[in-house]
Amino acid sequence: MLNTEYLGLGLKSPVIVSSGPITQNIVSLRKCEEAGAGAVVLKSIFEEQIEADVSSEMEANEEYLSHSSAEGFFAQSSRDFYIDKYMKLLTMAKKELSIPVIASISAKTMDAWIDYAGRFAACGADAIELNYYPISSESSVPGSEVDRRAIEFAKAARDKIRIPLSIKIGYKYSSLANIIMSFDRIGIDGLVLFNRFFRPDIDIETMTFSQGSPSSSPDEYGEALRWIGLMSGEVKMDLAGNTGIHSGETVVKMILAGAPACEVCTSVIRNGFSAITSMNDAIEAWMGRHGFSSINDFRGRLAQEKSEEGYKWERTQFLKTIS
C-alpha cells in the first residue's frame, strides 16, 4: 500500500532515513529496516575530514616521511583506510538489509567525488547521494558562476556514474527553479530538498563561536513543500522532501505536492525508530480515510500544474491577515 518508486528503486515506504547519526552503524541501519523505512542513506563520507585526518597523521609521522614517494604512499594509504571503513559498512548493509542502501558523499574535489562514487557503486550501493552545497561567500563571484560550478560538478558526476544519482541541495540559489531544471536536464535522477546545514552561532557570555541546534523543528518543512509543489510537475527527476518532516501527516503533504518519498532524521533521533513506524501508520490511516490504495493515487495532486490553486505556491506575502 505504501510502495513508491524513488530514483528508479522500488521502496516499500516513502519514509527514508536520511544521512546522519542514525545511519552510521549497522545496528541502527537494521533497526531502520525493522521499523519500516523504505530506504536508508548512509552518513556522508567527507573528503574534507579525511584530508584533515590525513594531514595530522602525516604531521605525527613526519620523521619517517622524508622521501616524497613515502609521503605520497602514506597519504594515499591513510585515505584508503577511511574509504575502506565506509565501504565495509556499505557492504555489510547491502548484505544484511533488503531495502535500498544509498551512499552519501560530500566531496570538495571532483577527483575525490568520482573516486568514492566508483568504489561505492562497486560495493553494490543502490544509489549515490551527492551532498553538495558550497557556501558562496566570495562577493566577487556572481550567482550565475555559483550555478555554473554546481552544474559542471553534477554533470561530471553524471557522466561517470551509471547507478542512480541524487543531489541534496540547500535553497539559497538565486534562481532555484532554474538550477533545479538544469540538474534535471543533465540527467540527475533526484534532488533532496533541502539539506539542513550546520548553523554557526555565538555564545555571548564567552564571546566565542558556538553551534546552533542540529535538530530541526516540525515547522521547518515549508520551503521544501513550496519548491516540491512548484517544480515536481516540471521535472522528470524525483524531488524528495527533507527538513522538518516529523510526522506521517507532513509526509502526506510532501506527496500531495509531488514528492515520491521523504528523508527524515531529527524525528528518529528524538523519538527513536518507532517514529518511522508511526509515520507509516499515519500515512496509511490518512490514505484509508480518503480512499486511496496507493501513493500514486494522490502523489502530485497539489503540484502547481495540477491544481487550480497552484499559483499559491508562488505567494510570498500574507494577504488579509487583519480581519
Ligand X SMILES: Cc1cc2nc3c(=O)[nH]c(=O)nc-3n(C[C@H](O)[C@H](O)[C@H](O)COP(=O)(O)O)c2cc1C
Chain residues in the site for ligand X (CB under 6 A): 18-21, 43-44, 104, 131, 168, 195-196, 214-216, 242-245, 264-267
CB of 311 vs ligand X, minimal distance in Å: 28
> Would you give the DSSP letter of residue 42?
P
- Using DSSP, state whether 44 is helix, strand or coil: coil
> Would you give the DSSP letter of residue 19?
S
CB of 72 vs ligand X, minimal distance in Å: 28
Closest CA to 6 of 241, 306, 230, 226: 241
> How buried is 282 (Cβ within 10 angstroms: 0-12 exposed, 13-18 middle, 19+ buried)?
middle
Nearer to ligand X, 32 or 65 (CB): 32
Residue appearing with cell numbers 602525516: 58
Q: Phi/psi zone of residue 247: left (φ > 0), alpha (ψ -120 to 50 degrees), beta?
A: beta
CB of 153 vs ligand X, minimal distance in Å: 16
CB of 194 vs ligand X, minimal distance in Å: 8
Nearer to ligand X, 242 or 280 (CB): 242
CB of 245 vs ligand X, minimal distance in Å: 5
Nearer to ligand X, 266 or 304 (CB): 266
The phi and psi torsions of 10 (rounded to 5 degrees) equal -80, 125
Query: Distance between the two ends of the chain, CA-based, in angstroms?
Result: 43
Nearer to ligand X, 133 or 313 (CB): 133
Nearer to ligand X, 20 or 65 (CB): 20
CB of 198 vs ligand X, minimal distance in Å: 9
Rounded to whole angstroms, how far apart are CA atoms 31 and 318?
A: 43
Closest CA to 101 of 24, 180, 2: 24
Nearer to ligand X, 194 or 292 (CB): 194
